[in-house]
Amino acid sequence: MCLVLRPAPAVSEKYEFMQSLSTGDESYEFPVVFMCVRLRVSRSGFYEWRNRTISATARRRADISRHVVLSFAESDETYGYRRVHAELARWGVDCSPELVRSIMRELGLVPCQPRPWRHSLTEADAGAGPIPDLVNRDFTADTPGAKMVGDITYVPTWEGWLFLATVIDCHTKAVIGWAMDDNYRTPLIAAAVEMAARNCDLPPGAIFHSDRGSNYTSAEFAETLKGLEIRQSVGRTGICYDNAMAESFNAALKVERVHRTAYPTRKKAYADIAAYIELRYNTTRLHSGLGYRTPSEARDEYLSRQSAA
């Protein structure tokens, strides 16, 4: 099975302890003296705090804190204060982003952080002909499937690298096509694009945009796109901003899942990453580019508008 490498629970022991004691119930699991020593609070200070009249502001902050902890936990400890605030708004909890930020700092709720180093898989094909950039860093689209971006990233396992090719829809921000293998040759990216074509009704003139890697600019991949009636677009070599949307997904995957998990086999990595894509990223993860909606909600709203038209 996958080994999830996570630090100690982000919700502080002190917070849980104080919340449990605020009920006034004396039947605690451990003696009060023992818990006070462990949490570095004085016994007299605890009893003074417990008997103190709680203000309406403190009660409201405690209630919001419980929602913040729940949202953070349900995100697998990946949400920062902006996404937690957006989640609370969806739950009908009225508070400001700065209050959420203050509570998260107080409770020690720190989302997983990106790593600074990144290995590049982009190797330009010196023999590639001219391919235009039809996107020009505009990663928006009016309809699903009209504009797509793709990239390859790598996942370490104890058996060696597992390579992941993705196709992301610019309208819904969903990963609509993906493929994994122990290499990143052209059939891998072709399989991802073919999955996208099956999963999404591509409109005429649909665009697929990528970096200028040798596989993406190969004649074999060009034939795949031509057979699917998809126009090809590429950015400049070594300019990550030209494919920023695909790079952003890769970063989210690495930060929220891969860097926190050890994979004994490629098979385990495959299953875990597929679950992340289909069960988290596409369906439950709030996306800032969608006004803190999920990709599945964006697609459902588009289909509802089309049905009403």
For the whole model, what pTM was predicted? 0.78
pLDDT in tens, 29-70: 788 888 888 888 898 888 888 888 878 888 899 999 999 999
User: Residue 176 in contact with residue 203, Cβ under 8 Å?
Assistant: no
Interval 132-150: pLDDT, tens: 999 999 999 999 999 999 9
**Domain boundaries along the sequence of the chain:** 7-107, 147-308
What pLDDT does residue 14 have?
47
Say how far apart CA 180 and CA 278 lie, in whole Å.
Answer: 14
How many alpha carbons lie under 13 Å from residue 65 in its C-beta half-sphere? 20
Is the CA virtual torsion 113, 117, 119, 125 positive or negative?
positive
pLDDT band, residue 230 (cuts 50/70/90): very high
Choose the CATH number for 147-308 among 3.40.640.10, 3.30.1360.20, 3.40.50.1100, 3.30.420.10.
Answer: 3.30.420.10
From 40-49, 119-128, 159-168, the region with the lowest mean pLDDT: 119-128
Q: Which residue has the tokens 């031509």?
A: 226
Q: Could you report how far apart the first and last alpha carbons of the chain are, in Å?
A: 48
Q: Rounded to whole angstroms, what are the CA distances from 137 to 106, 149, 170, 204, 273?
A: 39, 11, 11, 21, 27
